[in-house]
Amino acid sequence: MAAASIRLFNTMTMQKETLVPEVPGKVGVYVCGPTVYSYVHIGNARTFTSFDVVVRYLRYRGFEVRYVRNYTDVDDKIIKAARETGEQPVALAARFVEAFREDARALHLLEPDVSPKVSDHLPEILRIIGTLVDKGVAYESQGDVYFSVRAYPDYAKLSKRNLEELCMGERVQPGEQKREPADFALWKAAKPGEPSWDSPWGKGRPGWHIECSAMSARYLGETFDIHGGGLDLIFPHHENELAQSEAASGKTFARYWMHCGFLDLEGAKMSKSLGNVVSLREALGRVDPEALRFFFLSTHYRHPLAFSDKGLADAELRMEYFYETLRKVDERVGGKEFAPGPLHGEPARFLREFESLMDDDFNSAGALGALSGLFGAMNELTDKPPVKDKALVGRTLQALREDVRKVSGVLGLFEDEPSHWLLRRRDRAVKERGLDVARVEGLMAARVEARKVKDFAEADRLRGELKALGVEIMDTAGGTVWKVA
C-alpha cells in the first residue's frame, strides 16, 4: 500500500499540517516514556495508547515507522522513592521498568522498535553537553552545568511563553548555582548516596531534559519527524529539549509536535499533590484491558477525557456488544466457503470512512463511530437479513469481518477469540455479583431438558428464575450461553 496523505495537528504551528516525512515513506517517532519510580498512572497510559495507535495507523497506511519510547531511569523522583523503600535507585528503576512492560502488554501496547534507558546513554549525553558548553550556550558552575536560555534566541517558541515573564516568575532553588532563574540543569554535581558518573565537570548525573535529546538523536537522527507526549510536557520538558537540541546541532529538532490531552478524574485534573491519581495497574484490576483501551480511544487524543467508573462500565458494555456480534458472525460464516459473487449493499464504505477519519489527525473517536456502523450492519445481516440469498449474506458478512480484522490491527481491539473474551467478562461479573455458578448451570441444564421435551412453560419459568438472579440467557447457533445482565 502506498503511503497515504495524513494530516496532523502540529503544536508548534497550532494548526493541522500534512505529514511530509524527512525521508519519503519513512517516519521517525519519539515519545517521552515513563519515569520508572512507581506504577504509571492512567494519564500516562492514555498518552501511550494514543501514540500506539498513531504508530499502528502510520504503518497501516504504508509508512515505514521507527518508534522510540524511552525509560527515564535516572531522576530525582527515583532517588527519593529509593530512599523511602530502602532500595538502590538502579534496582528500584529496573523493578518498575518490568512492571510497566507487564502493564503495557496487558493494554495491547506494541513494543517500540527501541526502548532506551538514560543510564545506558551517558556518552551521548556528555557529548551534547560538551557541544553546548563549547558553543557558549551552556556553562559550568561548581560541578553543575546549566543551559543559558538567554543565549538561545528562540527559547520558548514551542510553548509560546514570554522569556522575561518566565525569568520573573521563577526563582533559583537552594543548592542551584545558575545565572538566571529560567536556566535549566544539563548536569548535576554528585551528592552523597546518589548514582553518579564521571564527566569533564566532575562526577554527577544528567538533568531530566538532556536525556531525550541524546536518545532521539542516537536512534532517529538530529532531525526527525514526530515528537509526542502529554500536554503537561510542553513546558518545560519539550521546550528545553527543543532548545538544547537545536542549539547543539543547528538543525530543526522535531518537524511535528503532537500532544495528548489531560485525563480528569471525576471532573478534577489528576494530581499527585491532590492524591487523586489512579495507576494503570489499579485500573486494569477494575476493568477489562481492551475496554480500558476502548475508553481511551473513545475521545480524540487532543481533547480532555473524564475518567469515571461509569465511563469504564460503559466501555466494557460496548466491548461486550462488539464481541457478541463477532461471536454470532463467526458462528454463522466462520470457516465456510461461499461462491464468488456480489455483496449486499456497499460494505467497504465503513472501512473507507474509518480511514478518512483516521487520516484527519488520527481521529479515533470518529473512527469508532464508523466501526459502530460496521457492527450494526453485521448484526442486521445475522439477525434480520434484508435478503434471502444466504450466499450473498455470507459473503458480505465475511467481507465485513475481514474489515474488522484490519481495524483491529490499527486500534489494538478485538484481538481475542470472541468466546474467550466473553467468558472472561462473565467470570469477572460473576465474582463481582457473588453468583452461585453451580446453581446457574443447574437451572440452565434444566431449561435445556424442558425444551427437549417441548415443555416451554417450564423453560420460560426457568428463564424467569435465571433473570431474577441477574442472568441473561441467549440461544445461539452454537448452543445456549449465559451472561450476567
At 447-458, the pLDDT tens digits run 988 988 999 998
What is the structure's pLDDT at 475?
A: 77
Q: What is the mean pLDDT of residues 186-200?
A: 95
What is the structure's pLDDT at 325?
A: 97
Residue the block writes with cell 518537524: 255
Please tell me whether the overall predicted TM-score, pTM, comes out greater than 0.85 for this model: yes
Confidence label for 430 from pLDDT (cuts 50, 70 and 90): confident
Backbone angles phi, psi at 479, to 5 degrees: 120, -175
Residue 27's closest CA among 35, 18, 38, 19? 19
Q: Please, is 200 exposed, middle or buried when counting C-beta atoms within 10 Å of its C-beta (0-12, 13-18, 19+)?
A: exposed
The rounded distance, in Å, linking the Cα atoms of 162 and 55 is: 34
What is the structure's pLDDT at 152?
A: 95
At 255-285, the pLDDT tens digits run 999 999 999 886 666 555 556 689 999 999 9
Q: Please give the DSSP secondary-structure letter assigned to residue 302.
A: T
Mean pLDDT of the chain: 93
Domain assignments of the chain as residue spans, ordered by start: 7-283, 309-418, 435-484
Percentage of residues in the chain having pLDDT higher than 70: 95
Residue 259 bridge partners (DSSP): 229
Q: Does 441 score more than 60 pLDDT?
A: yes
Q: Which of helix, strand or coil describes residue 326?
A: helix
Sign of the Cα pseudo-torsion (475, 478, 482, 485, in order): negative
What is the structure's pLDDT at 480?
A: 81
Residue the block writes with cell 471525576: 266
Fold of 7-283: Rossmann fold (3.40.50)
The rounded distance, in Å, linking the Cα atoms of 360 and 16 is: 9
Tell me the three cell numbers of residue 388. Answer: 434471502
Q: What is the mean pLDDT of residues 397-408?
A: 97
At 85-120, the pLDDT tens digits run 999 999 999 999 999 999 999 999 999 999 999 999
Q: Please give the DSSP secondary-structure letter assigned to residue 5.
A: P
Give the list of residues 6+ apart from residue 188 with CB closer than 8 angstroms, or none.
Answer: 144, 204, 205, 206, 207
Amino acid at 227: H
- What residue numbers does the annotated binding site for Zn(2+) cover? 32, 212, 237, 241
What is the structure's pLDDT at 482?
A: 85
Q: What stretch of H or E contains 31?
A: strand 26-31
Confidence label for 236 from pLDDT (cuts 50, 70 and 90): very high
- What residue numbers does the annotated binding site cover? 32, 212, 237, 241, 272
Percentage of residues in the chain having pLDDT higher than 90: 79
Q: What is the mean pLDDT of residues 161-168?
A: 78
The rounded distance, in Å, linking the Cα atoms of 190 and 175 is: 12
Confidence label for 429 from pLDDT (cuts 50, 70 and 90): confident
204-206/184-189 β-pairing: antiparallel
Cβ atoms < 10 Å from Cβ of 350: 22
Do 7-283 and 309-418 have matching folds? no
What is the structure's pLDDT at 315?
A: 97
CATH code of the domain occupying 309-418:
1.20.120.640
Q: Does 470 score more than 80 pLDDT?
A: yes
What is the structure's pLDDT at 170?
A: 62
Choice among 73-87, 120-134, 420-434 with the minimum mean pLDDT = 420-434
What is the structure's pLDDT at 200?
A: 97
